[in-house]
Amino acid sequence: MPGFELFSDLERNQVNDVLDNGVLMRYGFDGMRKGHWKAKELEAELEKTFDSNHVQLVSSGTAAVSVALASAGVGAGDEVIMPTFTFVASFEAIMMLGAIPILVDIDDTLTLDPKAVEAAITSKTKAVMVVQMCGSMGDMDALRKVCDFHSLIFVEDACQAIGGSYKGQPLGSIADVGCFSFDFVKTITCGEGGAVVTNNKDFYTNADHYSDHGHDHIGSDRGAETHPFLGYNFRISELHAAVGLAQVKRLPEFIAIQKKNYSIIRDELAKIPEVTFRTVPEGGEESYSFLNFFLPDADTAQKVSVAFKESGIDVCWNYYQNNWHYIRKWDHLKDLKSLFPVSKEVKDGLEYLQTKSFEQSDAYISRNISCLIKLSWTEEEVLKRARIMADCISEICK
């Protein structure tokens, strides 16, 4: 991760094919494009990759979450349970629909704690969204059980976990509807792009229409299509889809490289008694895009984080100090700093953030260090990196 590190003639040829053809829009212009449909081809490849019946490409991972929720009927005043550790896009996508993000604690998987989810359910709860952060997963069986018992929509944001699996099922394909991102720093990239994945035909049809101004896509004359309901523009372009079409065919290659590099570093750090690793649920396999480990306390984690930077170890983060991925510094959400008036339903629904604390999440995130696994590292570079990381941790923990 990310896929742009290994761009090749495969990506260039796909993009040049679109430019030579001249049709950059994914819909219409049937005569001009002469049978070239990159987005449709990519959707078909992703259906095989995710072992799912339906895939709808959209413009981003954020769009995928909003489209997925809207397609399942989530809207104004509905509560969507989500984790404290994620990317800001999670609550943005929920609020875009007028729905209310209900943040709850994570556990040692670094994803939703099923007990915290159960405790947060109210009469307004419509959906539960697990975010498969940093290449791994939550306890999907327990979360599914909670959703089924309360008749809630189960949403799986696997934007950071393509290539991972749980009990043989690809992450992103397990819940009622799944979401992926193909932005510039994902394991497979389109530059910008995302996907909604589902086996629910109604959700797919809704996503197909909603993401393109409500077009029903019936027939071959775009101008004659009807609009069964309101929609918006979340389309991907043929250029972006072309890049993704080349990249998705390389996913097994990318995952193998990530696993090799991840394993070298993990094996070295596992020798240190003070290092423990995130819990991967039984039957789960990470995508190996990140290596996440815990240190004994927040102070040690912060010192190690600083030592890594001083030693030239990049792309490692202590998310407790990060304002993109953890609730602690999301002041713009807590204070509802918006360019336009926020609805009363959302404003009232988010009042809980003024007094809510997340001690359990703090205990995990403050001690956690998350390290991106690059595709472009040589084995020599990975070995050197692993030794430097181990030396930094051992020096601070002695």
Structure tokens at 107: 């556990």
Q: Identify the pLDDT of residue 145.
A: 98
300-340 pLDDT, tens digit per residue, is 999 999 999 999 999 999 999 999 999 999 999 999 999 99
Which of 250, 268, 288 represents a domain boundary (last residue)? Answer: 250
Cβ-contact 178, 186 below 8 angstroms: no
Q: What is the pLDDT of residue 91?
A: 98
**Are both 209 and 109 inside the same structural domain?**
yes
Choosing from 250, 283, 307, the residue where a domain stops is: 250
pLDDT at site 292: 98
Closest C-alpha among 392, 132, 199, 164 to residue 287: 164
- From CA 62, how far away is CA 156, in angstroms rounded? 13
* Widest distance between CA atoms in the chain: 72
Cα separation, 69 vs 78, in Å, equals: 11
Last residue of a domain, one of 250, 275, 304: 250
Q: What is the CATH number of the domain that holds 16?
A: 3.40.640.10
DSSP H helix total and E strand total for the chain? 15, 14
Phi, psi values for residue 210, rounded to 5°: -60, -35
Q: Are residues 194 and 270 in the same domain?
A: no
- Residue 237's pLDDT is 98
Domain shared by 149 and 52, yes or no = yes
- pLDDT score for 36: 95
Same domain, 186 and 70: yes
Q: CA-CA distance, 74 to 357, in Å (whole number)?
A: 26
Which pLDDT does position 126 carry in this prediction? 98
Residues 153 and 213 in one domain: yes
Same domain, 189 and 220: yes
Q: How many domains does the chain have?
A: 2
Residues identified as active-site: 186
Q: For residue 379, what is the domain's CATH number? A: 3.90.1150.10
- Do 37 and 58 belong together in one domain? yes
Same domain? For 137 and 179 the reply is yes
Is 233 in the same domain as 199?
Answer: yes
Looking at the fold, whether 392 and 296 belong to one and the same domain comes out as yes
Q: Which two tokens stand for residue 25?
A: 């829009």
Stretches in the chain below the pLDDT threshold 70: none
One-letter amino acid of 162:
I
Residues 192 and 59 in one domain: yes
Structure tokens given for 336: 């509802």
13 burial class (0-12, 13-18, 19+ CB within 10 angstroms)?
exposed
| Residues spanned by the domain of 85 | 3-250
